[in-house]
Structure 1
Amino acid sequence: QAVVTWRCLYPHSDVTGATLRCPPDVTGVPLCEQEQVVQVTWLKRGGAGAVPAEVAVLNPQHGEHVQEPFVGRVLRHGHGDLGDGAIVLRNAVQGDEGDYECHLITFPMGNFEGRLTLRVLVPPLPILNPGPPLEEGQGRTLAASCTAEGSPVPSVRWETEVRGTNAT
């Protein structure tokens, strides 16, 4: 069961202004105590020219709004104020892979945004398919085949003491 936590951070400096980073698994809170996170919006970007799809909106007064197909899988991370704007994506599937945007509205500093790319890793699932028994003189050469599915695409390697040809 895959669980992904995204955090929306906006470290602030009096000299350089503010920047926003949205890497996974980074902790933090607003660095200026007078700043308030007013709203956080998470979007999933589509392909070239496509309009980003809303994933979730977090608002301290109005609560959370999560869009399909993320309903029941996206939750706000933590309790109380919006803090770092983190969300948790439960039961991540390959269809969740892609580029995401985090839009953070703060007071009094204004708007910030950041992006991240989510890759969903699927452990390899190898399947050994034994062929029919080989009998001398029948001209058949296949003894067994192996397939494996996963993400990233797994490679298959044969280890055998049987003499013959290994093909991948």
Structure 2
Amino acid sequence: MKVTGIQGESEVIPSKHLLQSLEEAETVLPCLYQPSTDKVVQVTWYKVSPAKTKEQIIVANNADGHLAFGTWSGRVRFKSSEPTVDSTLVIISTEVSDEGDYICHISTFPSGNFEREISLTVWTTPITSLDPVVLKEGEPFKQVASCRSVARPPPQLSWDTELNGQSINRTSDNGAVSTHYSLHPLRSMNGKRLDCLVWHPVFQSPRRLKNLLVVHFPPHAEVSGFNEEWHVDMENAALRCIHGGNPEPTLTWTRILVYRGVHCGLDDWH
């Protein structure tokens, strides 16, 4: 007699089979009993409640076919068209509430009943948000970005940056995790990378939420291009206004009348 997952009386009963699945994915609960002489009369799947009561999910036998019960109807099916041969159960679209213990109960003749117990853990894909803050040069040490994520199991968060700041991680009662990054804003930090990395078993590599730090600072304008060789009727003479500032400032050129005998240079217009 070949047994896969369900053990006969002469064999050691294994520990509970552990299985992991993902929310909204198809979950396959394996159960296969292949006796050499016994005949499988009926297959029944149960879900075990925290109070250890058994909720009937689906039943199949050679006489009446198969039937799913209650809210399980339309959500589960047998993998095989012959469930008394291959009793593997399929949850078509897995929900978080499906997490728990399941029992595959095989009734045979003449040997009797055999069971396999499976413990299902349902993971969820992280839902993550990154909330940056627009900063101003001169502000005190403050929080400049926060990253929050919710998943099963809880994800881990970290920052990828060259900035010299401090991060604080928190965990909420609902299982959400968050990380908060703080620093003293300087104009040299504007445009620097401050990415949030999300680490979770459903990801082969950490998921990256890209973010560039935004620091506002006032402009400092300087005029260049003039030299002492400028003269009347000179062609292609040009002045250039060099400025910094974030956000980009609006420039206005103004011509000022200078009386004869008054001398000025570019240093007078900084």
TM over 0.5: yes
- After TM superposition, the structure 1 = structure 2 runs for residues 11-30 of structure 1, keeping only pairs within 5 Å, are 11-12=7-8, 16=10, 23=17, 28-30=32-34
**TM-score scaled by length of structure 2:** 0.51
* More displaced 10-residue stretch of structure 1: 69-78 or 139-148: 139-148
> Secondary structure, in 3 states, of the residue corresponding to 2:97?
helix
Shift of 1:88: 0.8
| Aligned residues with identical type, % of pairs | 30
State the aligned residue count: 156
- Map of 2:67 onto structure 1: 65
Q: Which amino acid aligns with 1:145?
A: S
Show CA shifts across 1:61-104 (max 9, x none). 11111123222121011123511321111111110000111211
Q: Which amino acid aligns with 1:104?
A: I
Q: Which amino acid aligns with 2:73?
A: V
Shift of 1:115: 1.0
Aligned in 2, Cα 1:27/1:74: closer, same or farther, shift over 3 Å?
Answer: closer
2: CA distance, partners of 1:77 / 1:151: 27
2: CA distance, partners of 1:74 / 1:60: 19
| Larger Rg computed on CA atoms | 2
Aligned in 2, Cα 1:71/1:21: closer, same or farther, shift over 3 Å?
Answer: farther
**TM-score scaled by length of structure 1:** 0.78
- Map of 1:75 onto structure 2: 77
2:6–2:31: 8 Å Cα contact kept in structure 1? no
- After TM superposition, the structure 1 = structure 2 runs for residues 15-164 of structure 1, keeping only pairs within 5 Å, are 16=10, 23=17, 28-32=32-36, 34-48=37-51, 50-80=52-82, 82-131=84-133, 133-139=134-140, 141-164=142-165
2: CA distance, partners of 1:146 / 1:115: 39
2:31–2:89: 8 Å Cα contact kept in structure 1? no
1: CA distance, partners of 2:6 / 2:157: 44
Q: Greater relative contact order: 1 or 2 (C-alpha under 8 angstroms, separation 6 or more)?
A: 1
Runs of 4+ residues over 2 Å off in structure 1: 8-13, 17-29, 123-126, 136-140
2:80–2:87: 8 Å Cα contact kept in structure 1? no
1:44–1:100: 8 Å Cα contact kept in structure 2? yes
Shift of 1:11: 5.0
Shift of 1:9: 4.2
2:131–2:147: 8 Å Cα contact kept in structure 1? yes
1:10 corresponds to 2:11: no
> Structure 1 stretches of 5 or more lacking a match?
1-7
Q: Which amino acid aligns with 1:40?
A: V
